[in-house]
Amino acid sequence: MKALALSVALLLAATSVSLAAAEPARGLAGLTTIGVDVELHPSQESLSSEQLARRIAARLREAAPALTLDPASPARLRLTVVVRPYSATALRGFWLPFSGTYGIGPVRLSVERDAYRRR
């Protein structure tokens, strides 16, 4: 689905490292290892969660080479995509620029890490 690919591409571009600057995004600062989890809504057929996880891992390796990808790491980069396809017919009553299939739903990227309290 083109809408999913566009949404994910924009999300990754906005939250990933600038290759020119070669410094990690603020949410990844201080991390040495991280795991990548991807959850897709079952209706997604254009890309599997494994394919998307590999793309994210490749981008992280390029952008933050000091960051080690480890599936057992307690720190997680989690992408959740709950975008579902809707036909233009199902969305009657809304102004749509063209007929076809639209992707509607949330896309969330989060970094889950241990919180430490200093004394």
Q: Which of 2 and 99 is assigned the larger pLDDT?
A: 99
Number of domains in the chain: 1
Is 47 inside a domain boundary? yes
CA 97 to chain centre: 27
Q: Which of 16, 116, 114, 20 shows the shortest CA–CA distance to 67?
A: 16
Residue 46 lies in a domain: yes
| Residue 61, domain member (yes or no) | yes
User: Over pLDDT 70: what percentage of the chain?
Assistant: 76
Residue 14: band (very low, low, confident or very high) from pLDDT cuts 50, 70, 90: very low
* Reported confidence tier of residue 23, pLDDT bands at 50, 70, 90: low
Rama region for 93: left / alpha / beta (φ>0; ψ in -120 to 50; rest): left
Q: State phi, psi for 104 to the nearest 5 degrees.
A: -130, 130
Kindly state whether residue 56 falls inside one of the protein's structural domains.
yes
Strands 33-40 and 76-81: parallel
Q: For the segment 24-76, what is each residue's pLDDT rounded down to a tens digit?
A: 577 788 888 999 999 998 888 778 899 999 999 998 888 888 889 999 999 99
- Domain span holding position 75: 1-9+33-82
CB atoms within 10 A of CB 83: 20
Q: Are 71 and 113 in contact (CB under 8 A)?
A: no
Residue 53 included in any domain: yes
Give a yes or no: residue 4 inside a domain: yes
